Structure 1
Amino acid sequence: MNTIKKILAVIDPSKDKQIALNRSFELARKSGAQITAFLSIYDFSYEMTTMLSREERDAMRDAVINDRKEWITSLINQHGGDIKVDCQVVWHNRPFESIIEAVLEQNYDMVVKGTHQHDTLKSVIFTPTDWHLIRKCPVPLLLVKEHDWPAGGQILAAVNASSEEETHQALNHTIMKEAAYLADLIDGNLNLVNAYPGTPVNIAIEIPEFDAGQYAESVKAHHVATTHKLAEQYQVEPSHCYINEGLPEDVLPQVANQLDAELVVMGTVGRTGISAALIGNTAEHVIDSLNCDVLALKPQGYKSPLDKS
């Protein structure tokens, strides 16, 4: 991304306050980006009305779409006329697919969508649109909550600095570049967080002469060194680096709350299928624990399963 030229702002038809549209206007005023206010709607009853002809059903569907366009236009007009905003309403029974199709067809730089706490049980049985987008959206996905972005606020980049995998290293730099760009855009402060694993308990039990304390210190020193090296490349002071022992899904919310962060920027590997169901992504585990926005980024070269090109 590095610059934002086209934003797809996802409208929530069940809400009066459109936090994604509001955030999109904030970003557009600072970046000069164009916005498309996007709504995906579907009503199964219109498809099942067998007493009506196809033409009559189409006319009813078009009337619903036009009504929603008028409503969205009224929302846009509340923000004044200083930003170019388009309005797009599509009839589609899978919202996440319609969003990704729009991204692929019209080359948006960012998708902005409001989010909320998911019911844990429902999240297991019915995967929310957010989770589909975290896994499959090919461009940066900004999930917005009810948290302001004041000047001088805190942006937290979540990295895996010590990974030797090229994919992870490249993703670290993608995260840092986007976080640094947004910190500059909103006049915020850039911070890094790196979680590292604790000493495996079974090693200490199986090998009596194993020095758990020394091992823990050497692991921490390695993570501190690699995190500071990464931070230095983006002019981030060591005092803005948080290197904590624990699982990412525990460490990230703790540090974000400690800083009262406005935004967490993190990578997601885009797992789908069985591995996603069994393992899940860190971003999915973290998002419900954060009281701030999340920018989810894919590795370079990621191709969405919906991309048929």
Structure 2
Amino acid sequence: MKIEKVLVIADQQDKQQSALAHAKSLCKRTGAKLHIVAFHYENLTKFAAKLNPEQQLDIQNKIISSGNKWLKSEIAQLSLQDHSSCEVLWEKDIVGWVKQHCESHAYDLIVKTGHRSEGLFYVPTDWHLIRNNLVPTLIVAEKKWRKKQTIMVSLDLGTHSKSKQELNQKLLDAGITFATNANMPLHICYSIPISPVLKDLGIIDKKTLVNDAKSRYLPIIETMLGDYDIPLANIHFKAGPASKVIPSVASKCSAGLVVIGSIGRKGITAKIMGNTSESVLGLLKTDILVVQPE
């Protein structure tokens, strides 16, 4: 995975400025060019009876001007002036703007601070970006990675879909890129599907299931890794639902970043069921890099 051009979504409400901090780190390690964008929007229609169009435009311009002053100050504090461009926009539909913008600009990565307090039918900007954008999206949880952390990649090794198999390679390539750039160990996780009913009846033995998966999929993983070498102990096979296995293994191996795929469900099915990436988004205490298939 190359990281040469990055779109950074800055959030003035984020006191830690986690997205900008990670963007600076990426810029330092990869030499990537950044385009930093901040969004502002206020519903001025409730003042329509008191404000004429000129007054509404004046308020909008003042908010944008204030936002520009703030963003340029943050960029200057991080010494990113020579490595970035920036703009502040009056825009309510952030996801729509990002999608349209990315269609005409070749970004390798989007970086955004995560907001993870969703209800069943509330789909925030993070989820929309995951579903609707074809650019890998880094949802940042912390300002910076701590020492002794790792990068963990979650693979769907049991899939027979060619697009998902290709996505597995993209995920691993992304994990290798981040692990190399951050000089952090790489871990690989595969959650083996298991029927709770068959397990409870003793028809399926978890240990046997895990051993069978190792013998079947370890050669595939080794081929996917190519010349990149990781200890066997860093490849984790665990039986259970991915939404529980991934956070569990991530915690066990002290992951600072989890790399996961998303197939982008749409409509009411997505709101009720979600994707695995969305299911674990609220459970993981790490950064999460979501990569979509081609």
Work out whether the TM-score is over 0.5.
yes
The partner residue of 2:265 within 258, 261, 271 is 271
Name the counterpart of 1:181.
177
How far apart are 1:231 and its partner, in Å?
2.8
How far apart are 1:290 and its partner, in Å?
1.0
Structure 1 pair 147/79, CA: closer, same or farther in 2 (3 Å)?
closer
Name the counterpart of 1:307.
none
Name the counterpart of 1:9.
8
How large is the RMSD of aligned CA atoms in angstroms? Answer: 2.3
Name the counterpart of 1:172.
168
Name the counterpart of 1:192.
188
Structure 2 counterpart SS, 1:181: helix
- Where do 5+ consecutive residues of structure 2 fail to align? none
* Deviation string, structure 1 residues 14-67 (Cα, Å, up to 9, x no partner): 222210011011011111111122112111116853554434433332222121
Name the counterpart of 1:96.
95
Name the counterpart of 1:134.
130
**Does the 8 Å contact 1:161/1:172 carry over to 2?**
yes
- Do structure 1's residue 241 and structure 2's residue 235 form an aligned pair? yes
How far apart are 1:273 and its partner, in Å?
0.7
Amino acid at match of 1:29: K
Structure 1 pair 83/194, CA: closer, same or farther in 2 (3 Å)?
farther
**Taking structure 2 as the reference length, what is the TM-score of the superposition?**
0.90
The partner residue of 1:284 within 275, 278, 290 is 278
**Does the 8 Å contact 2:179/2:186 carry over to 1?**
yes
168-177 vs 218-227, which deviates more?
Answer: 218-227
The partner residue of 2:210 within 220, 229, 239 is 220
How far apart are 1:168 and its partner, in Å?
1.8
**Taking structure 1 as the reference length, what is the TM-score of the superposition?**
0.86
The partner residue of 1:148 within 138, 144, 149 is 144
Name the counterpart of 1:63.
62
Structure 1 pair 245/49, CA: closer, same or farther in 2 (3 Å)?
same
Structure 2 counterpart SS, 1:98: helix
**Does the 8 Å contact 1:47/1:57 carry over to 2?**
no
- CA separation in 2, counterparts of 1:42 and 1:86? 21
- CA separation in 1, counterparts of 2:293 and 2:180? 22
Structure 1 pair 54/226, CA: closer, same or farther in 2 (3 Å)?
farther
Structure 2 counterpart SS, 1:117: coil
Amino acid at match of 2:249: V
- CA separation in 2, counterparts of 1:76 and 1:10? 13
- CA separation in 1, counterparts of 2:50 and 2:146? 55
Name the counterpart of 1:258.
252
Structure 1 pair 75/226, CA: closer, same or farther in 2 (3 Å)?
farther
259-268 vs 216-225, which deviates more?
Answer: 216-225
- CA separation in 1, counterparts of 2:81 and 2:68? 20
**Does the 8 Å contact 2:281/2:288 carry over to 1?**
yes
How far apart are 1:203 and its partner, in Å?
8.8
Structure 1 counterpart SS, 2:278: helix
Q: Percent identity?
A: 26
**Does the 8 Å contact 1:156/1:192 carry over to 2?**
yes
